[in-house]
Each structure stands twice: as structure tokens, then as C-alpha cells.
Amino acid sequence: MNFFDVLDLLGTIAFATSGALTAINKKFDPFGVFIVAFVTALGGGTLRDVLIGRAPVGWMLETYYVYTILATVVITIIFRKQIKFLTKSMFLFDTIGLGIFTIIGTQLGVESHFNPIISIALGTMTAAFGGVIRDILCNQIPVIFRKEIYATAAIIGSITFLILNMFKLDININYAITTSIVIIIRLIAVRFHLSLPTFYTKN
């Protein structure tokens, strides 16, 4: 297992935990918690694989993803009372998953020799769309559609990855730097209430 695989696994655990915590907070039953955790962790990657014609999708070939999510859900349910500050925990795991999956999606675009814009789109999709599905299932407005800096952080991280890749920086160092950039941007944006402008018309 190389560093890329480790990142992929960590991202899966982070997003599965985020989904499980969200579902627990919504008082879902264990099956509902698993489903929300599953789509949060694998929804973006599944959509990406379908769009690029990667079949079967990754988690169908590598079943350890399913077992990892199941184990994550069980652990999260068991220790739910020990997880203090639930909202902060969900935010932290969601941010970590965002950073990791951004780079995973972008890297797959590079390996498939797509145009850089397409690679950026794949990175953003991989990182953000699992959360979109999670929020829809939990009857919330997806964070990507709110004014919070979320997808923007993924886009900046993806662009940084492509630039560093052009300069032939060691790939593992590139992974570490760009994943950290996405996480830091997201943390700073929330800490200082930075957001994109919203548009509306008066009735």
C-alpha cells in the first residue's frame, strides 16, 4: 500500500465518520447511519468513476472500502457519547475528507491525461459531492451551495497540485502540501467567517 492508498483510506474514514455523525445527530437508525456514511465516503468517487467511464467503480473492485466504512460506523456509534462537541467533530472530519479527496480526484484526472480544467473538476467533484448527497438525505441545504468557502478550497488545492506536479515535485510531498492547503483554507474561512458573496433580488 503506497502513500496514495493510505490517503484514500484516511479520506474514506474521515468522510464516513462525518456522515455517521450527521446521521446520528438526525436520530437515524443504524441502517440509516450506515447508508449516510456510505454515500458520504463514496458518493463523489462513484460519480467521478461513472463520468470517466471507470467500470466497475472503485469500491466494487476493492471491497475493503465497504468493510472500512462498516467498521467506522460501528466505532462511531459505540463511542458517540464520548465524542464531545458533535458539530465541531463533524466539521473536522468533513474538512479532512475534503482535503484528501480533492487530491485523489485530481490525481486520477492527471493519470487519465485529461485537460487540467477537467482534472480540477474531478478533484472538486470527488471531494464535495459525497457531502452534497449526505446533506440532501439529511434534509439540509448542501454546504457546497451555501456561501461558505468549501468547493473553493478544493479548487485552490487542485490547482496547486497541478502546478506543483508541473515542476515534478515528489508526488508524496505534493500530496501532503496540497491536502494541507485545502484543510487550512477551510479552517481559516470558518474561523474568520470568510465567505463568497451571495446574490439576490428584491421582490
Mean pLDDT of 144-170: 92
196 is a domain residue: no
Q: What pLDDT is attached to residue 144?
A: 84
According to DSSP, residue 60 is labeled: H
Q: What pLDDT is attached to residue 35?
A: 97
Q: Given pLDDT bands bounded at 50, 70 and 90, which one contains residue 86?
A: low
197 is a domain residue: no
Q: Given pLDDT bands bounded at 50, 70 and 90, which one contains residue 83?
A: low
Cell of 79: 463511542
201 is a domain residue: no
Number of domains making up the chain: 1
26 is a domain residue: yes
Higher pLDDT, 38 or 92: 38
Q: State the residue range of the domain holding 175.
A: 3-191
141 is a domain residue: yes
93 is a domain residue: yes
Helices 116-137 and 30-51 cross at an angle (nearest 10°) of 160
Mean pLDDT of 33-57: 95
176 is a domain residue: yes
Write out pLDDT tens, residues 6-25: 888 889 999 999 999 999 99
pTM for the model stands at: 0.89
110 is a domain residue: yes
Helix (H) or strand (E) holding 4: helix 3-25
